[in-house]
Structure 1
Amino acid sequence: MERPAERGHRCVPHTADVRIEAWAPTREACVAEAVTALVDTFTDPAGARPAAEREFRAPAGDDADLLVSVLDEVIFRMETEGELPLSTEVTDDGAGGLLVRWRTTDTDAVELVGAVPKAVALHELRFGSDGAGWSCAVTLDV
């Protein structure tokens, strides 16, 4: 994957669904960037202010499972709690899992600009170290 910056994300064309790519120097930063990419696919958070701080622990698993767990949690919280992350911090929990901290806002505080993701597809999921850092590619079912 060609990287225009040390850390970032983008949406890439995909038939009927949404596909995101994210990259960063570390596994944890790449997961955080993927969360931002997911939210950016369907919202414009400009002007939204954090309303709460939330924490989530992704249990130990392989790297792809950890990524899916975190992205699934974002979708779950959006659907059940009506909240979205404005910023994401991810750290290794020391036991093979991830500790995720979000500053969140209510979904009605952001402008919807795209199709809302319903799930993370496992087909063509990619996440790992690529020599220049970490990168992932994820398809979101909408």
Structure 2
Amino acid sequence: MERRPARGHRNVPHTADVRIEAWAPDREECVAEAVAAMLDVFVDTAGATADATSETRYAVPPGDDADMLVAVLDEVIFRLETAGVLPLASDVRAADGGLLVRWWTVDADAVELIGAVPKAVSLHELRFGPDRDGWSCAVTLDV
């Protein structure tokens, strides 16, 4: 059996909605991979660029690991709906028991829509935690 790369993500078949999986050596990198996996569901970011002035931050309060993952993914959806921006790159760090997320964003009009935009993160069959190779998650997105 082949070992998975140290860090990555993929979309997996799911009835009516979209399911993503992500993995990385640690919790924070796994959250960043989950953000990238979610974006891959509905936009093509090839050719889009974000500059240093597009950096935004989001502080996630302390909580259960799965709840913090959902908070980050929900925030991506919220920022798309309210500000019309998407993160091209994510840096996630542990901070005061929670997470500090830095995003370098791009205007949603600068990327190509390739799929249904997620409306929410489902808690059904949510999985996030350590595994034999680091951390992994599986999340269903309502589209």
TM-score range for the pair, normalised by the shorter chain length:
over 0.9
Shift of 1:96: 1.1
Task: Kindly tell me the number of residue pairs found equivalent between the two proteins.
Answer: 140
Residue deviations 1:69-118 (CA, integer Å, cap 9, x gap): 0000000000000000000000000x210000000000000000001000
- Structure 1: 5+ residue stretches without partners: none
Residue deviations 1:12-33 (CA, integer Å, cap 9, x gap): 0000000000000000000000
Residue in structure 2 matched with residue 63 of structure 1 by the alignment: 65
Shift of 1:132: 1.1
When normalised by structure 1's length, the TM-score is 0.96
SS in 2 for 1:46: coil
Shift of 1:49: 1.2
- Runs of 4+ displaced beyond 2 Å: none
For the pair 1:17 / 2:17, whether they are aligned, the reply is: yes
Residue deviations 1:46-66 (CA, integer Å, cap 9, x gap): 111115110000110010000
- Structure 2: 5+ residue stretches without partners: none
CA RMSD of aligned residues (A): 1.0
Matched residues in 2 for 1:126 and 1:3: separation? 20
The percentage of counterpart residues that share the same residue type is 70
Matched residues in 2 for 1:3 and 1:59: separation? 34
Alignment map for 1:124-139 (pairs within 5 Å):
124-139=125-140
